[in-house]
Amino acid sequence: MMLKFFRRKHVAIDYDSREVRLVVFEYVRRQPVIRSLHSADIPEGADSTDASSLGGFIRTQVEELNLAGARAVMCVGRSQAVLKSLLLPVDVASDELASMVQYQVSRELPFPAGEAVVDFSRGVHWDTAGAEAAGEGTTVLAAAVRLPVIDSARQICEEAGLTLERLGLRPYANLRAVYRSVRCEPHQRLLLVNITADEAEIDVMCDESLEFSRAAAVTAGEDRQGPDVQRAVSEVTRSLQSFNAVRPGAEIDVVFVAGSTGLEKDLAAALSEALSVRCELFDPSDGFALRTVEATGAFGAALGLAAATGQQEPLPFDFINPKRPAPPRDTRRIKVMAAAAAVVVLLGAGAIGRMSYMDRRRADVKTLAGKNKTLLAANKKLKRLRRRVEAVEKWDNDRTGWLDQLTHLSRTLPKAKELYLTGLDFSPGKAALTGRVTDSATVSRFAKRLMDMPGYEVRPKGTGAVKDKFGYPMQFSLEVLISPQAGSTATATGPATAEVN
């Protein structure tokens, strides 16, 4: 009974311009347990874009629920965050990863990095799987949210009499709620369309990973539900086209529609018809052991925040407590300690110090030898690629009309009764011929016929006697050099006819 009395309550907060949604939960045996769900329409006097005004309204709800002083978790909408997939070197130390992420992502943000909070998550998210396949490295997904958004969340909680503990990202909160509430087959791809009063968040999920997320401006008005539904269908279709550009051939298996705007049923029917996919209204009641509550689908993000607040399965991003670079070391203290250690080594254990030094150097040599071996293997691949590129460039620069030259050589060759070829090899600017012949005079006549034409030079490579089952007593080898002056030598005069020599 005492433990129950002192058990601290937590509240997950999600809101749009019309409604605030609160999920009250607490920990039982270190696991979050949902106690109640509450929603309240924002009155006309309160402004959802003003942190002080919205915080004051939430304070009235907090006081009614006896939640003053509770710890709060909130989330940032997809439209307020910039996501960037990064591929970092594979051997980056854990204490250096945050510094490297900060450095690399600062060059890709549309605003100065100092104006935002950046957090990151290792592993496969977003399109980092494609990045990992493109080359060896450590894949991370970085998320940046501008400081005014963070400050607004802090002020809302402060005005409401709450302590902001975590600030996550809504698509990942929805992801956690969906996979806790929906039974999925392996590799089954889900589409969640979360409709609020201001926008629609469109999330593609597969195997408990977020593959794609986009926010679209879709307002839900009571007097124009038809146009709003069509606008939402159009935005979903456009989002899936963008997703298919990243993941060609990927298909959606099930669509879930969440929200409490009144558009959800019509939107689910319209999406089912437009996409030819099963569409359902998202209901997390069974997954969170909730009693029947109207429009529970609108609480998906808040429920996901509550489920992920525990230390065992936190959301990948927390903009209140982001992963930051390690503070710089106190170099003066390190220098003093190093000097003291050096004195001790010199006075008491010079020999041991020398042996230790040599062991470290040997270890360094071994490490460098391993890296050198790896680089040599990579260099071999690059050399092979360079040779292929050079070969392609040679062929590209060579302007010889090989079809014409092959036709010309075929016409110039003596009859098959006198000579036949056993080998023919083309390379830029020349052709190598080998074969069998009845006598050396036949080869000389063939070479002279070519030499008499402009642009041809013949280099004999040798002749010799050979046993041939077809009755050709000699073998020959020669090289024909073909210059650009040779020009086109073949002219079509009619249909080709077979000639038997």
Domain extents for the chain?
2-307, 328-364, 402-486
Task: State pLDDT tens for residues 179-214.
Answer: 999 988 999 999 999 999 889 999 999 998 999 999
Q: Cα dist. 395→16, 222, 254 in Å?
A: 63, 68, 52
Q: What does the pLDDT read at residue 6?
A: 43
Nearest to 325 by CA among 82, 93, 66, 115: 93
On the question of pLDDT at 467 being above 60, the answer is yes
Single-letter residue type at 371: K
Question: How many other C-beta atoms lie within 10 A of the C-beta of residue 320?
Answer: 16
Helix (H) or strand (E) holding 426: strand 419-427
**Cα 127 to the center of its chain, rounded Å:** 3
Tell me what percent of the residues of the chain surpass a pLDDT of 90: 39
16 burial level (CB within 10 Å; 0-12, 13-18, 19+):
buried
Q: What does the pLDDT read at residue 86?
A: 83
Q: What does the pLDDT read at residue 169?
A: 95
Nearest to 74 by CA among 16, 143, 7, 6: 16
- Average pLDDT of the chain is 83
Confidence grade of residue 381 (pLDDT, cut at 50, 70, 90): confident
Spatial contact of 255 and 189, defined as CB atoms under 8 Å apart: no
Q: Which residue has the higher pLDDT, 271 or 429?
A: 271
On the question of pLDDT at 390 being above 80, the answer is no
Spatial contact of 12 and 23, defined as CB atoms under 8 Å apart: yes
**Cα 75 to the center of its chain, rounded Å:** 23
Spatial contact of 210 and 203, defined as CB atoms under 8 Å apart: yes
Task: State pLDDT tens for residues 116-161.
Answer: 999 998 765 555 444 444 456 778 889 999 999 999 999 999 999 9
Give SS3 for 419: strand
Taking the C-alpha atoms of residue 235 and residue 229, their distance in angstroms, rounded to an integer, is 10
Confidence grade of residue 4 (pLDDT, cut at 50, 70, 90): very low
Taking the C-alpha atoms of residue 209 and residue 211, their distance in angstroms, rounded to an integer, is 6
Q: Which residue has the higher pLDDT, 218 or 185?
A: 185
> How many Cα atoms sit within 13 Å of 373 on the Cβ side?
6
Taking the C-alpha atoms of residue 29 and residue 488, their distance in angstroms, rounded to an integer, is 88
Single-letter residue type at 385: L
Give SS3 for 290: coil
Spatial contact of 74 and 14, defined as CB atoms under 8 Å apart: yes
Taking the C-alpha atoms of residue 9 and residue 165, their distance in angstroms, rounded to an integer, is 12
Helices (H), 110-162: 128-134, 147-160
Count of residues in the chain = 501
71-76 and 209-216 strand pairing: unpaired
Q: Which range, of 143-152, 233-242, 405-414, averages the lowest pLDDT?
A: 405-414
Taking the C-alpha atoms of residue 44 and residue 248, their distance in angstroms, rounded to an integer, is 46
Q: Which range, of 107-116, 217-226, 450-459, 477-486, averages the lowest pLDDT?
A: 217-226
Q: What does the pLDDT read at residue 129?
A: 44
Handedness of CA 331, 335, 336, 337 (dihedral sign): positive
Single-letter residue type at 433: L
CATH of segment(s) 402-486: 3.30.1360.100
Spatial contact of 201 and 174, defined as CB atoms under 8 Å apart: yes
- Write the DSSP string, 53-92: HHHHHHHHHHHHTT-TT-EEEEEE-GGGEEEEEEEE-TT-
Taking the C-alpha atoms of residue 9 and residue 23, their distance in angstroms, rounded to an integer, is 10
Q: What does the pLDDT read at residue 63?
A: 94
Instruction: Tell me the range of 148-157, 355-364, 410-419, 465-474 where mean pLDDT is highest.
Output: 148-157
Q: Which range, of 188-197, 306-315, 425-434, averages the lowest pLDDT?
A: 306-315
Question: How many other C-beta atoms lie within 10 A of the C-beta of residue 402?
Answer: 13
Q: What does the pLDDT read at residue 488?
A: 52
CATH of segment(s) 2-307: 3.30.420.380
On the question of pLDDT at 38 being above 60, the answer is yes
Q: What does the pLDDT read at residue 77?
A: 94
Confidence grade of residue 241 (pLDDT, cut at 50, 70, 90): very high
Q: Which residue has the higher pLDDT, 487 or 2?
A: 487
9-15 and 71-76 strand pairing: parallel
Q: What does the pLDDT read at residue 14?
A: 95
On the question of pLDDT at 30 being above 80, the answer is no
Spatial contact of 313 and 288, defined as CB atoms under 8 Å apart: no
Phi-psi region of 187 (alpha: psi -120 to 50; beta: other; left: phi over 0): left
Confidence grade of residue 11 (pLDDT, cut at 50, 70, 90): very high
Convert 300-358 into a string of H (helix), E (strand) and C (coil): HHHHHHHHCCCCCCCCCCCCCCCCCCCCCCCHHHHHHHHHHHHHHHHHHCHHHHHHHHH
DSSP 420: E
Q: Which residue has the higher pLDDT, 372 or 486?
A: 372
DSSP 4: H
Helix orientation angle between 225-246 and 264-275, rounded to the nearest 10 degrees: 50
Q: What does the pLDDT read at residue 51?
A: 93
Q: Which range, of 51-60, 97-106, 294-303, 484-493, averages the lowest pLDDT?
A: 484-493
Instruction: Tell me the range of 131-135, 153-157, 315-319, 396-400 where mean pLDDT is highest.
Output: 153-157
Spatial contact of 334 and 192, defined as CB atoms under 8 Å apart: no
